[in-house]
Amino acid sequence: MINTQPTVTIWNEYRQEQTDPAVQAIYPHGIHAPIADHLRHQNITTHIATLDQPQHGLTPERLAQTDVLIWWGHRHHHEVDDAIVTRIHERITLGGMGFIALHSSHFAKIFCQLMGTTCKLKHAVRGEQERLWCVSPTHPIATGLPERITVPQTEMYGEFFDIPTPDELVFVSSFDNGEVFRSGCCWRRGRGKVFYFRPGHETYPIYYQPEILQLLTNAVQWAAPSGLQTVTYGREGRDW
């Protein structure tokens, strides 16, 4: 029987968890670990790749076997090799791999390249509550979720978020001070689907929250490649 579940690779800088006690306390096995555990529990094959591995763990073979790449970057975006960024970009736009950018990955080279904008935003660590409102209840990423998810403590991100207008906006956040933010945004880039998801600061246990894990699983299913496997181009009678 063919396994129809997508294969996921989670990419993580994986430095702060090894050097910063505050981050270590929340994510002792890496911020990727609870997400990977949850996906594997859903029978989704999940690989881990990190910044300090050769080729950042993203060899052509690994990317070719990846249906959806989840990305966590924060402090070391600039250390990601441009050649690897190009490789990921091609795998998304030409190969149809899905891409999910988490939280501070708004400044990841690959995300900025996919967007073509600065991806700047406002931010403040005040430990406040976040309300994540679903604004597209029939979207696949909203499946099975409540209309509002409360994150007890979070870092605030505020508008204006300098991104291209999303093809589909699924979640909007509001914060204690009145700021709002487009927290769940979908785009198509070539053959690939891209999802940006805001919650997830490294000193709060957000990626252990069941609704957040469900949402990310939905996002993986949505972002997985779909549609025609091959397309023929060229001249009538010679090529097709």
List interacting residues with Zn ion (CB under 5 A).
104, 155, 201
Least distance between Zn ion and beta carbon 123 (Å) = 7
* Nearest to 218, CA basis, from 166, 133, 150, 144: 144
Comparing CB distances to Zn ion, the nearer of 104 and 217 is 104
Q: Which long-range contacts (CB under 8 A, 24 or more apart) does 141-148 make?
A: 141/170, 141/184, 141/186, 141/195, 141/215, 141/218, 141/219, 141/222, 142/170, 142/171, 142/215, 142/218, 143/218, 144/214, 144/218, 145/211, 145/214, 145/215, 145/218, 146/211
Strands 168-175 and 180-189: antiparallel
Least distance between Zn ion and beta carbon 27 (Å) = 13
Comparing CB distances to Zn ion, the nearer of 90 and 128 is 128
Least distance between Zn ion and beta carbon 103 (Å) = 6
Comparing CB distances to Zn ion, the nearer of 16 and 104 is 104
Comparing CB distances to Zn ion, the nearer of 44 and 149 is 149
Least distance between Zn ion and beta carbon 239 (Å) = 49
- Give the SS3 label for residue 23: helix
- Give the SS3 label for residue 72: strand
Residue nearest to Zn ion (CB): 201
Comparing CB distances to Zn ion, the nearer of 16 and 218 is 16
Least distance between Zn ion and beta carbon 173 (Å) = 13
